[in-house]
Homo-oligomer: A and B are copies of this chain.
Amino acid sequence: MGVIRKTKAVEVLLNEFNNSSTAISAKKLIAELDSTFNKTTIYRVLDKLEDDGILHSFLGKEGLKWYAKCNGCTASEHADLHPHFQCLSCGKVECLTVSVTLPKIPNKKIETSQLLLQGKCEACFV
């Protein structure tokens, strides 16, 4: 991939992620930017930014697709093996910087994994 043009949509979406400390769902971006960009454009830009190693994606509750900024990823190597957290009260989703020790599974070759923790974020469980 690569060769990405600096269009309005790319600029606006990158801004969203640079100004956010949390992950953002495609659904929310579409809702917010509905009047500015077609949803197809949003999906395509997110796809491309992921291909280019700028964003990574994962599935949250109900199979919704979430995106967040990558940390030192390139188009050829994605290292988004960290777990994610989703608050069941406010819906906020974050990348966690802790590392998980995966269980040893005999007779299986584990290539990747996804861990989604759910519960209450600091603001919600007081």
Beyond A108-B120, A118-B113, whether A96 also contacts B103 by CB under 8 A is yes
Chain B's nearest CB lies how many Å from the CB of A47? 15
How many subunits of this chain does the assembly comprise?
A: 2
14 pairs, CB–CB < 8 Å, chain A vs chain B: A62-B63, A85-B108, A98-B105, A100-B100, A100-B103, A101-B101, A108-B119, A108-B120, A108-B125, A109-B120, A110-B118, A111-B120, A113-B117, A115-B115
A binding-site residues for B, Cβ under 8 Å: 59, 62-64, 83, 85, 88, 96, 98-105, 107-122, 125
Chain B's nearest CB lies how many Å from the CB of A60? 9
Q: Which label, helix, strand, loop or mixed, suits the secondary structure of the A interface?
A: mixed
